Amino acid sequence: MSEPASQAVAPPQGGAALSHRQILLVISGLMLGMLLAALDMTIMGVATKTIADELHGQTIQAWVTTAYLITSTISTPLYGKLSDIYGRKPMYMAAIGLFLIGSVLAGFSQSMYELAAFRAVQGLGAGGLMSLVLAIIADIVSPRERGRYMGYFMSVWGASSVIGPVVGGFFAGVDTFAGIAGWRWVFLVNIPVGIVGLIVVFRNLNLPHRKVDHRIDYWGAATLTAGLVPLLIVAEQGREWGWGSGAALTMYLIGAIGIAAFVFAESRMGDEALIPLRLFRFSVFSLSNVINFIMGLGMFGMMMSLPLYLQIVKGASPTEAGLLTLPMTAGILTAAMTSGRIIARTGRYKVFPVIGLGLVAAAMFLFGQIGTDTPLWWTMVIMTLAGGGLGLCMQTLVLSVQNVVPPKDMGVATSSATFFRSIGGTVGTAVFLSMLFTVVIDRLAGFARGGAGLDLNDTSFLNAMSPEQKRPILDAFSHGIDVVFTVGGVVILVAFALIWFLKEVPLSMKSGIERRNDEDGVVAEATPAAVN
């Protein structure tokens, strides 16, 4: 990352393949962007409870996560489309910049609602951080060889899974640091990482790009927002409003109209649509994204519930809770890297999501049996099983999509895979957290004068209670989490049934740049494309 300017990556001529060294230099910038997103995710995973207690908003913490997921989800396909038009580099730098602005604002939030709004700004940047990384890798590495380089990105997730809980736990556990409340550094720590990332991306992310004159699908973005936001709001507020209340029914209606308007707008825009409908003619694209949605639904519900179980029921500190989830991370890394190497050697990939979804479903049902007295070692065994299943699924489903779409659609197709998984995650987070607190409140209805003396917005009151006093509360949380995992297991079973119908298309040996070069009939001596 400290090479002199003369060693910065030069764009390949005429769409030729990049050398191994050039690919590594490009990856160095992508890894820092991914580190930014990964650290934020792992730090927030252990610090959310403390932040919610500090801002007195434990029961509305889903708004913070949901706001982030809404904006990151909606912006994801927009990044994909704009990067196909204007190039990957400017869009990736814009994503990092927006994420940093959101981090600064979130670091100075005064309420949970302010934090939710500023996390939404962060989400606008996060929508490009992950999807554009996958699109750029598809540009420069063939599907068959992609597993050779995925280990670098897996190492980023591995490092963030160790560093994130420690950093997040430290800041969440100290009252002040450098004169600023400790929890605020959960967001401010992103600033130095992001600045270094911007510098490295500016120097090294130089890829050939043929600018295409297209209209921006503003109507698609607007109608998609109009369709998704009401549905996500009712998923979050349905417990308080009543699922059949007038407010909820209004949200259902607005959401349905918005989605119908989105489909109509996309059909009118044709190839310039945010998500071109012609891509759904590829059965692999359609089915993979349905499975991505379902997997995101169950996966995010699991990832949000586990830290709450470890911190509230098991009494772990934020740092301890983060470190206790390392078995899941180890399972993801091991399975993803192993399957990547096997795919590179054999060219076969369908077997991995089949096994992976089976493992995730089994893990979810096992999680549904854990209780207040379940030993931690058994919970960690189940985490390893769940991680292994996720590691076998995540990259192979994206790979299956990238392998069948035309190279000119690589950005929008890749972002679509991320988009549908994120939509599932957004819905899963809102619905499962709402479900969790509904069950907990119902279980506590007969406790403390009908539950009137308990304020679940700030669970720190548990620290002052004796084991006998807090046992009913811990059992209620444990039961609620069991319900979440059991329902999540049923959801994953649906994905497991569908994956058997996925058609395995032989993997290409050419990168996206080479495939586009072949389609356009560009020879190696042709005038170089613009660099973006």
CA dist., res. 103 & res. 312, Å (int): 27
**CA angle (71 as vertex; 163, 122 as ends), nearest 5:** 40
Residue 304: pLDDT band (50, 70, 90) is: confident
Q: Which residue has the higher pLDDT, 202 or 497?
A: 497
CA dist., res. 231 & res. 419, Å (int): 16
* Chain segment 467-511, per-residue pLDDT in tens: 887 888 888 888 889 999 999 999 999 999 999 999 988 877 776
Least confident of 278-292, 312-326, 379-393: 312-326
Query: Which distant-in-sequence residues (6+ apart) come within 8 Å of 196 by Cβ?
Result: 32
CA dist., res. 61 & res. 29, Å (int): 33
Least confident of 148-157, 337-346, 382-391, 431-440: 148-157
Instruction: Give whole-number Cα distances, 110 to 46, 54, 103, in Å.
Output: 20, 10, 14
**pLDDT over 90 for what percent of the chain?**
17
Instruction: Give whole-number Cα distances, 429 to 64, 138, 373, 426, in Å.
Output: 10, 29, 26, 5
pLDDT for res 101:
94
pLDDT for res 181:
78
Q: Summarize the confidence of residues 273-289 as an average pLDDT.
A: 87
Do the Cβ atoms of 246 and 72 come closer than 8 Å? no
**CA angle (390 as vertex; 24, 506 as ends), nearest 5:** 65
pLDDT for res 356:
94
Q: Summarize the confidence of residues 21-30 as an average pLDDT.
A: 80
Q: What are phi and psi of 109, to 5 degrees?
A: -65, 150
Residue 448 has pLDDT above 70, yes or no: no
Residue 467: Cβ-neighbour burial (10 angstroms; 0-12, 13-18, 19+): exposed
Structure tokens at 458: 């700030």
Do the Cβ atoms of 99 and 423 come closer than 8 Å? no
Residue 528 has pLDDT above 60, yes or no: no
Structure tokens at 297: 């639904």
Q: Summarize the confidence of residues 401-412 as an average pLDDT.
A: 80
Query: Which distant-in-sequence residues (6+ apart) come within 8 Å of 436 by Cβ?
Result: 305, 308, 477, 480, 481, 483, 484
* Residue type, position 117, single letter: A
Among 499, 482, 505, smallest CA distance to 357 is for 499
pLDDT for res 450:
44
Instruction: Give whole-number Cα distances, 61 to 6, 187, 356, in Å.
Output: 49, 16, 30
CA dist., res. 61 & res. 55, Å (int): 10
pLDDT for res 39:
81
Do the Cβ atoms of 212 and 84 come closer than 8 Å? yes
Q: How far is CA 64 from the centre of its chain?
A: 15
Mean pLDDT of the chain: 80
Least confident of 88-97, 384-393, 466-475: 466-475
CA dist., res. 500 & res. 285, Å (int): 15
Among 248, 501, 518, smallest CA distance to 408 is for 518
Q: How far is CA 525 from the centre of its chain?
A: 41
* Residue type, position 516, single letter: R
CA dist., res. 191 & res. 198, Å (int): 11
The dihedral built from the CA positions of residue 206, 207, 208 and 213, taken in this order, carries a sign that is negative
Do the Cβ atoms of 108 and 186 come closer than 8 Å? no
Dihedral angle over CA of 166, 169, 172, 176, nearest 10 = -50
Residue 521 has pLDDT above 70, yes or no: no
Residue 382: pLDDT band (50, 70, 90) is: very high
* pTM > 0.85: yes or no: no
Residue 209: pLDDT band (50, 70, 90) is: low
- For 176, the enclosing helix (H) or strand (E) is strand 176-177
Do the Cβ atoms of 125 and 99 come closer than 8 Å? yes
Least confident of 122-131, 318-327, 443-452, 479-488: 443-452
